Amino acid sequence: MILTALILFLLLGAAPASPDAVDVPTIIFDHIGDEYEWHITEWKGKAIAIPLPCIVIEDGVHVFTLHHAAEHGYTLNEKGKLVNADTGKRPLDLSITKNVLALIISSLLLLVIVLWTARWYRRHDALKEAPTGLTSAMEALVMIPHNIARENIGEEDYRRYSPYLCTVFLWILLNNFLGILPFFPGGANLTGNIAITMVLALCTFFTVNLTGTKHYYKEIFLPDVPGFLKPIMPVIEVFSAFMKPVSLTIRLFANMLAGHIMILSMVCIIFIMAKYGPALSGGMTVVSVLFGVFLDALECLVAFIQAYVFTMLSSIYIGLARQHEE
Amino acid sequence: MSLVTPEFGLLFWMVLIFGIVFFLLAKFGFPIITGSVDERSAKIEQSLKDAEEIEARMAEWKVEQAKLLEQTRKEQSLILKEATEAKARIVSEAKAEARQEADKLLAQAQVQIQAEKESALRDVRREVALLSVQVAEKVLRQELSDTGNQRAFIDQLVDEAAQAELHS
């Protein structure tokens, strides 16, 4: 974050006479949103960006980079999405956007780290020696969701669900931290994107509701309540079952998004204050850098807490669905 | 607002990529790690329990050992005492026996001495008697060589015999 601040500061220094007001919402939404190319920085007025393939399916598959969108008959609408240049309609857009590239990179990173860790256990006898370095750190991290699963799902069948919870926990944790990193390959706001959190929450939803016990479904549809509540309870229970993934989605998405927005706002203050003279802007720069450092530290905490909370709630939901008749 | 409407493209890629990641990690990653760690923690727990048990047993052994040691010491002192007693007894018995033996020998010696003495005395008496007879014979032969003396002697003998007759 400090690096970003410095880079932006240098950029601003390159054009100190610019009288334009800083368009804060645009800057922030550009950062937290998605793009068709990975904009890294600007150098001497030219954008430095990684071009990404746009993949559009509409009467055939079109693959092109953003620069050549017009040749294929597509253009960006006011929201920055590809639309058909003639009809103005959104095609089926499977582009490898900035978020998708970040998704691929972070997933590969996670695969490499975890499989590397697993390789150690394959090659060593864990009963005779303890791992060192990355492996031991990963072991500690992997055991967090594993133990959550044991506590909330029960000794009987937590092993079935532990791999899912481990994947979810480490995936969210890694992407939260990559999101805090201000430079490539971090900086994408992946866990603050509702599509991503929705998929994660739906995974939990399907895991809960497709592997529930008879007792769980009985509690939903034929709960043991007084007669006049009998028709009402199933409605409430079904509603609550569907609200669980929604709350999971919104919680992770909103927390991570808010963190990104707060940090970006802190950085933007520096540029807003630039036109009010050196004294004021210098003072505010110090303040916002200090706040930025504080918020970054807070975000590191939140990154962990949100991954933990998502895993914890998922395991509790699964645990509730795995209860047996007493 | 696009922030809260999920983008289909991203949804598609997320499902695909997360699915692959989950499949690979659930198959080749996490079960191996968690299994090994679980096994190890189970082993550690078991080892701790074993150690505790052994410690308890050791303490038990220590108590038993101390008891045994004390018992041995008691037995030792008992044996020593008995040995001392036995020694004293044997010594005193030996002494008594020796004394008895000595007494017996002494008594035998005395008896023998007495016997010797008596036989010696008897011999002496016999010698003396023989000698006195021989002396008397010689005296008588000298005195009775003349007839006057023979007569006087016979008279004396008769007197003495008569006196003896009177006395009895």
**Which residue of chain A comes nearest to B12, CA vs CA?**
A94
- CB distance A110–B12 less than 8 Å? no
* Structural domain contains residue B168: no
- CB distance B21–A257 less than 8 Å? no
Nearest to A142 among B5, B15, B34 (CB): B34
Please say whether the beta carbons of B28 and A115 come within 8 A. yes
Contacts of residue B17 in chain A, CB cutoff 8 Å? Answer: 103-104, 107
* Structural domain contains residue B156: no
For residues A126-160, one letter each, b for 16 or more C-beta atoms within 10 angstroms of the residue's C-beta and e for the rest, the string is beeeebeeebeebbebbbbbbbbbbebbeeeebbe
Predicted pLDDT of residue A16: 43
Please name the residues in contact with A86: beta carbons below 8 A apart, sequence gap of 6 or more: A73
SS3 A154: coil
What percentage of chain B exceeds 70 in pLDDT? Answer: 98
Query: What residues does A64 pair with on adjacent strands?
Result: A54
Contact B167/A at CB under 8 A: no
What is the domain count for chain B? 1
Q: Which residue has the tokens 């590191």?
A: A300
Contacts of residue B25 in chain A, CB cutoff 8 Å? Answer: 110-111, 114-115, 163, 166-167
Tokens of B49: 């329990």
Contacts of residue A127 in chain B, CB cutoff 8 Å? Answer: 39-40, 43
* Structural domain contains residue B154: no
| Strand ranges (E), chain A | 37-43, 46-51, 54-57, 61-64, 74-76, 82-84, 92-93
Predicted pLDDT of residue A13: 45
- CB distance A107–B10 less than 8 Å? no
Domain of B31 in residue numbering reads as 12-145
Predicted pLDDT of residue A21: 66
| A98, burial (CB in 10 Å: exposed 0-12, middle 13-18, buried 19+) | buried
* Structural domain contains residue B73: yes
- CB distance A118–B12 less than 8 Å? no
Predicted pLDDT of residue A7: 53
- CB distance A127–B6 less than 8 Å? no
DSSP, res A64: E
Measured distance CA(A121)–CA(A167) in Å, rounded: 18
- ipTM rounded to 2 decimals: 0.85
Predicted pLDDT of residue B70: 96
User: Average pLDDT of chain A?
Assistant: 85
Nearest to B6 among A121, A166, A195 (CB): A195
Spell out the domain ranges in chain A: 2-49+98-321, 53-95
- CB distance A200–B18 less than 8 Å? yes
State yes or no: pLDDT of B74 exceeds 70: yes
- H-helix or E-strand containing A235? helix A232-273
What's the pLDDT tens digit per position in A23-50? 788 878 877 888 888 888 778 888 888 8
- CB distance B14–A103 less than 8 Å? yes
